[in-house]
Structure 1
Amino acid sequence: MARFFYNLVFTLAIPIILLRMWLRGGSNPGYRQRWTERFAMFTFNGKANGLLIHSVSVGETLAAEPLVRSLQAAHPDLTLTITTTTPTGSDQVLRLYAGDLAAGRIVHLYLPYDLPWLMNRFIKKIQPSICIIMETELWPNIIRSCNKQQVPVILANARLSEKSAKGYAKFPKLTRPMLQGLDLVAAQHRNDAERFIALGIDDRKVDVTGSIKFDISVPKQSLAEGQALKVQWGESRPVMVLASSHEGEDDLILASYQQLLADFPDLLLTIVPRHPERFDEVAALVLDRRLNLVRRSESLEKGNLQPSAMTQVYLADTMGEMLLLLASADVAIIGGSFIEHGGHNPLEACALSKAVVMGMSDYNFAAIAQQLINQGAMQQTSGEQLTTCLRQLLERPELRMDMGTQGQRVVADNQGAVARLTTLVTEQLYR
């Protein structure tokens, strides 16, 4: 009965969802494209009995790359179908796997809306051997459709915050059958595993594999290009990077930046908005504060990567360059953490040996954040104390260096989740 009402409400909401997508398409045209895939109307060009990996959006797609590469190496004859729900996630898939997509080793699609007739048709077309869902993107009907068609479902790199667990617990008649339909939960941490078990999953289906986000491989090219940018801007010039910012955070960091200019007049702030539809909005915020702005897209078009000495804010209005831009930083500020969004991944900056600052909202990375804080690799601060925190880091290069060293060590010490997950997938594949 609970699933009946879920399906009824979801069906009635489809016109609203489509209208919202059309409106969002005004700033990001991707929302108005490939709608047929969202209704499971497509021609599947891959091989049956491959692997289906749902990676939702940008963060999950980037995090899943080491696992995708490992599964490709372990099972080169299998087609990997990677699904997302957002255009930005789609763009990441197209960027990361261009060669594999062209060769047919990987197929990319939007995941259909979670209605039984759509999911049944989708799974019948793909005919996967296994469905791998990244992190917490759980939908009742895709799991039920896989169960009906005898497709094992693995929740990989699974995390479940206390807040999310409480949300699931409010609807036990819907969520309990859904969770029991999972064949394996590969949890990031023991706390995540315990929350899944408390919600009704058999503890024999739960394995703590660690977070694949630690399995970061920093491309030498990104590191070299980031360091080259730093040299071009002036090696002695301090650089702060605000990574994956959301509405409400840019203005907060800009206010702090203006206070810091009194002590660090040549300080450069690079802002990397999380969503491309906000590029113009952030540019307007910078100009409203009468700060000198350079947009990376414009500087690339003109063949000049270097802001002048007069440039105060560098707006990274491009995609797929986060590692490069973090590599140019002295201090990395993690977005999504100064509003109630749960924070974004701080491990990329740690892998690059950067001093990392995060806001107080960290529920998406609570265990990782606490580990980094305990090891002296990251500082956590409120918006009110942000300027003081940043000033201390800018004044003390030895502290930044020590934090960077500790961060890199934490990343190295916790790697191995990808290998463990690949083994579990292989075991499930040949069971």
Structure 2
Amino acid sequence: MSRLFAWLLNGCYAAVIAVASPVILWRAVRHGKYRDGWGAKLLGRVPVRTGDAPCVWLHAVSVGEVNLLATTITELARQRPDWQVVVSTTTRTGWELACKKYAQHTVFYCPLDFSWACAAAVRRLRPSLLVLAELELWPNLIAAAKRGGARVAIINGRLSDNSFRGYRRVRPLVARVLGQLDLIAAQDEETAARFERLGAKPQAVRVTGSLKFDGAETDRDNPRTVELKRLAGIGAEDRVLLVGSTQAPEELYAIDVLRSVSGDARAPLRLIVVPRHPERFEEVAQLIASTGIPWARRSQLTGVAGDEAQRSPQDAASSAKGTGGSASGSVPSHPAWQILLVDVIGELGAWWGAADVGFVGGSFGSRGGQNMLEPAAYGVPTCFGPNTRNFRDIVRRLLAVDGAKVVADAAELQQFVRRALDDRAWSADLGERARALVLSQQGATQRTVERLAGLLAGETVNDAGNQAA
């Protein structure tokens, strides 16, 4: 990439930041965002790597991508224990989770896509391979890595409908960037075809499957879930409705379901609410408190061991407000709650193992859904709203095996929950079909890591594929 083009991009980035600076400043003050890591972000002052072993730089933009990398990092350690692995992220929540989850590796904020910052970061890290999770097309970062002698790959590549339409409008620019990639490990055939239509080299594009299938826990008796159930006092007689990755007004819909169902003569129903964005924790807490239903905050339950959760920026302030209307700072485990607000980051995957019925949020609004593989892997009878465009392939597969249900509105959500609670044979069959699908699709991590290893061994993508076969 030419220096002129790089500096044109620098100018565009600077202009965007200047225009957005009032919003950035307001969010920094109001929500605690964008306060950390500016040396790395603006100047590329990332940790200096020592040693001469091959280095894999893995980049995950936020929490979801950080979790996604878990199986890849484990498989890299198994196949190539001599390689160094470093992890970068963009958001504060992603950085906090990565520091906990990958404490044995170097974790840092990724530089913004200014040419000088990217070049400085590459000089300090000296990566052999830059691996971008899902879709992170930053022209200056990719160009700096290539100039530094690194191979560049996208893993678990996906292109939503909106992303594909947006990239097609600037196809000449996108094709220029995609043409520098040595490997695009796509989730499915449709995504692979889209990358090629945008200008990726056909020989660099391969379908390896979705890493999310491999990362999904299938054992409800895993230690983390067992510990969380003990902490929350969830007994064998309880029935649990979990609504995960929610946005407004999905929490309100779930509360209405709880009110309606709780009056029926059936086993006690408890509701666990996990909002998608930490900045909404306090908003959802106020909503729950206004109902008068006994409730608790996850962040204030005591007695957890080996906790990987990360508290929200508002936790320090909200902890003084108490739990469930109490003025105390924390509450003992086994509280008498009917609604539990999970106001920490990084636990949703384990909480799904405690659910008897599940709803995946972000699907009644405009966000396009969230990951429904986690409840599916546990065999949770799961539903979601009609807007799941960002997970279209996974939804298609689940619906094809009758492993999940689409609910059109709040009334259908209530009908689904009632049936799942009343007809245990039906809900068990629904969940088992979903779990069987997840198990049948696993193996993407091994295929992906074998192709990455092939890049560092100097093989072509085709050669690596032949060895993996």
1:306 has 2:334 as partner: yes
Deviates more, 1:20-29 or 1:315-324: 20-29
**Amino acid of the residue matched to residue 69 of structure 1?**
T
* CA contact 2:299–2:344 (8 Å) conserved in 1: yes
For 2:136, what is the secondary structure of its paired residue? coil
Mapped pair 1:54 → 2:50 = no
Q: Tell me the residue number matched to 2:239.
A: 238
Distance apart, 1:165 and its partner CA: 0.8
CA distance in 1, matches of 2:45, 2:215: 36
* 2:13 is equivalent to residue 13 of structure 1: no
Q: Which among 56, 70, 80 is matched to residue 85 of structure 2?
A: 80
**Alpha-carbon distance in structure 2 between the residues aligned to 1:293 and 1:25:** 30
Q: Which amino acid aligns with 2:251?
A: D
Alignment pair present for 1:360 and 2:363? no
- Aligned mates of 2:387, 2:5 — CA distance in 1: 32
Match of 1:335 in 2: 361
Task: Give yes or no for the alignment of 1:189 onto 2:192.
Answer: no
Give 2:294's aligned amino acid: N
Cα separation, 2, equivalents of 1:394 and 1:2: 59
CA distance in 1, matches of 2:188, 2:216: 21
Residue by residue over 1:69-98, the C-alpha shift from the partner in whole angstroms, topping out at 9 and shown as x without a partner, is 111222222221111111111121112122
Q: Percent identity?
A: 29
Contact 2:364 2:387 in 1 (8 A): yes
Aligned counterpart, 1:388: 415
Q: Provide the rounded CA distance (Å) in 2 between the counterparts of 1:264 and 1:145.
A: 64
User: Matches of 1:374 and 1:131 in 2, distance apart?
Assistant: 36
Q: 1: CA distance between counterparts of 2:357 and 2:5?
A: 48
Q: Which residue number in structure 2 is paired with residue 375 of structure 1?
A: 401
Select which of 269, 272, 290 maps to 1:270: 272
Instruction: Work out the CA distance in 1 between the residues paired with 2:161 and 2:22.
Output: 32
Equivalent residues of 2:296, 2:340 under 8 A apart: yes
Aligned twin of 1:423: 450
Please show how residues 26-105 of structure 1 align to structure 2 within 5 Å: 26=29, 28-29=31-32, 31-39=34-42, 40-47=44-51, 49-98=54-103, 100=104
CA distance in 1, matches of 2:294, 2:225: 27
| Amino acid across the alignment from 1:169 | R
In structure 2, the residue matched to 1:326 is 352
Return the match for 2:297 from 289, 295, 298. Answer: 295
Q: Which residue is equivalent to 1:224?
A: 226
Distance (whole Å) between structure 1 residues aligned to residue 84 and residue 335 of structure 2: 44
Structure 2 counterpart SS, 1:31: coil
| Equivalence for 1:279 | 281
Q: Using the alignment, how far apart are the partners of 1:139 and 1:225 within structure 2? A: 40
2:314 maps to: none
Taking structure 1 as the reference length, the TM-score comes to 0.91
Q: Are the aligned partners of 1:51 and 1:129 in contact in 2 as well (CA < 8 Å)?
A: yes
Kindly provide the CA deviation profile for residues 346-401 of structure 1, in whole angstroms up to 9, marking residues without a partner as x.
11112212111112222221111111111121111122422222222222111221
Letter in 2 for 1:404: G
Question: 1:128, CA displacement in angstroms?
Answer: 0.3
The range that moved more, 180-189 or 358-367, is 358-367
- Whether the 8 Å CA contact 2:225–2:351 is kept in 1: the answer is no
Please give the alpha-carbon distance, in whole angstroms, between the structure 2 residues aligned to 1:236 and 1:139.
51
Equivalent position amino acid for 1:122 in 2: A
How big is the alpha-carbon RMSD for the aligned residues of Structure 1 and Structure 2? 2.2
Counterpart residue type for residue 319 of structure 1: I
Inter-CA distance 396–307: structure 2 relative to 1 (3 Å threshold)? farther
Q: Is 2:49–2:124's contact at 8 Å kept on the other side of the alignment?
A: no
How many residues of Structure 1 are paired with residues of Structure 2 in the alignment? 422
The equivalent residue for 1:103 is none
In 1, Cα distance between equivalents of 2:109 and 2:46: 10
- Deviating more after overlay: 124-133 vs 335-344: 335-344
TM-superposition CA deviations, 1:169-192 (whole Å, max 9, x none): 011222110111111110000010
Supply the distance in 2 between the matched residues of 1:155 and 1:404 (Cα, whole angstroms).
32
CA drift of 1:328 comes to 1.2
1:356 counterpart letter in structure 2: T
Q: What CA distance in whole angstroms lies between the structure 1 residues aligned with 2:290 and 2:441?
A: 43
Report the equivalent of 2:200.
201
Q: 1:403 aligns with which of 414, 421, 430?
A: 430
* Per-residue deviation, 1:418: 0.5
- Larger CA deviation: 351-360 vs 414-423: 351-360
Distance 1:307 1:50, change over 3 A: same
Q: Unpaired runs of 5+ in structure 2?
A: 304-329, 459-469
Q: TM-score, normalised by structure 2?
A: 0.84
Cα distance between partner residues in 1 of 2:24 and 2:249 = 22
Q: 1:226·1:327 contact (CA, 8 Å) conserved in 2?
A: no
Please give the alpha-carbon distance, in whole angstroms, between the structure 2 residues aligned to 1:264 and 1:115: 62
